[in-house]
Amino acid sequence: MLKKNGSDVRCVTLPAGTFYNGDCISGAARYIPDGSVDLIITDPPYGIGGDTLHKHYNRNEEFVVDGYVEIPEKEYGNFSLQWIREAERILKPGGSIYIISGYTNLYHILAALKMTSLTEVNHIIWKYSFGVFTRRKFVSSHYHILFYEKPGGIRTFNLESRYGLNEKNGDGRSLNNTDREDVWQINREYKPGLVKNKNELPLELLLKLIQYSSNEGDLVCDLFLGGFSTAIAAIGLNRRATGFEISSAMFDARICEIERMEPGSLIPLLRAPAIQPRKNQRKAWTDEDIRYLVREFKKRRASGETKKEIIAVLGDALGRGRWAIIKALKKSACNK
């Protein structure tokens, strides 16, 4: 359903979520409640001149949709602060945000993040080939992914969503660990002959972020939808999705694809991780284990460890999952 809301924002509401054709700063302030979003993945305009963006890519521009809206360099700092403050407000406590940024204006994004309560989890380097030819300097081949969290809740991080902890490659190296290193090599999709945004994020990258940092049914938001790649990945993994795109040309070019998307349709394409069950999973608790749990929990709390850290350590020690530990602590009235 396409609606105009008495302002210059149009919205389309689908079973998987609502999408807004308008400015994300004023739009989020008006339409997205505080603490309602589980995960934000966003790729803001780069502030390097949208009309020259194609020079970074070696491809046929015929199928690239016109209408990418750039931010003038001198406004980039203030613009970044405004949208990052909105992102901070709409995230749930414990929610995650990934911001994809080039190098030119990275300092503005880092400065804006510093002015919020959001805290750094990782700085990921995304390596790929631009297809740019240079002779007198090194070849630019990476972007930055800033992974931050909103304090105040337990952040989702699905440790074994892609590789089980015990899975190894031919050389005996842990596949799980390798997948979680902070340099990722993922190539752009060239999609010859298909309609696209000027710099669409690859599905492989988005699936990885969504698998680790959200669960089915969670709400995933992209403040700069562009070609709606975040929404496509999120709906495909049976998450709810929302977001903003200021360009009507971009919005109109992709919204039909979103309307046709089958929730969960990408799940069968995912690799199934080989996860070994926890040693004591589904076994009844012994009195001795409960006493150990309560004693260790109190001792560690008193020495300043966070609940999250303690739950992880005691889960390993007792051969039980996180939820089993939380439930047992609640039962013994410890987890206050």
Number of H helices, E strands in the chain: 10, 10
Question: Which DSSP state fits 238?
Answer: T
Question: Which DSSP state fits 176?
Answer: H
**What distance in Å separates the CA atoms of residue 240 and residue 16, rounded to the nearest whole number?**
5
- Residue 86 as a binder of ligand SAM (CB under 6 A): the answer is no
Q: Which residues contact 113 (CB under 8 A, 6 or more apart)?
A: 84, 99, 120, 146, 148
- How many CA atoms does the CB half-sphere of 244 hold within 13 Å? 23
- Closest contact distance (angstroms) between CB of 245 and ligand SAM is 5
- Residue 98 as a binder of ligand SAM (CB under 6 A): the answer is no
Q: For ligand SAM, which residue of 245, 266, 293, 324 counts as binding (CB under 6 A)? A: 245
Closer residue to ligand SAM, CB minimum distance, 227 or 273: 227
Give residues 261-290 in contact with ligand SAM (rule: CB under 6 A): none
- Residue 39 as a binder of ligand SAM (CB under 6 A): the answer is no
- The closest residue (CB) to ligand SAM is 226
Q: Which stretch binds ligand SAM (CB under 6 A): 104-112, 130-138, 187-195, 243-251?
A: 243-251
**What distance in Å separates the CA atoms of residue 21 and residue 248, rounded to the nearest whole number?**
6
Per-position DSSP letters for 28-87, written without gaps between them: HHHHS-TT-EEEEEE----SS-GGGGGGGS-S-GGGBPS-PPP--GGGHHHHHHHHHHHH
- Closest contact distance (angstroms) between CB of 20 and ligand SAM is 8
Q: Which stretch binds ligand SAM (CB under 6 A): 11-19, 198-206, 285-293, 308-316?
A: 198-206
> Any bridge partners for residue 143, and if so which?
126
* Closest C-alpha among 14, 32, 36, 15 to residue 23: 32
- Closest contact distance (angstroms) between CB of 229 and ligand SAM is 3
- Residue 229 as a binder of ligand SAM (CB under 6 A): the answer is yes
- Closest contact distance (angstroms) between CB of 24 and ligand SAM is 4
- Residue 201 as a binder of ligand SAM (CB under 6 A): the answer is yes
Give residues 15-34 in contact with ligand SAM (rule: CB under 6 A): 23-25
- Residue 68 as a binder of ligand SAM (CB under 6 A): the answer is yes
Closer residue to ligand SAM, CB minimum distance, 113 or 175: 113
Q: For ligand SAM, which residue of 11, 17, 43, 293 counts as binding (CB under 6 A)? A: 43
Are 38 and 153 in contact by the 8 Å Cβ rule? The answer is: no
Distances in whole angstroms, Cα of residue 283 to Cα of each of 14, 228, 320: 42, 45, 9
Residues lying near ligand SAM in the complex (CB under 6 A) are found at 23-25, 43, 45, 68-69, 197, 199-201, 224, 226-227, 229, 244-247, 250
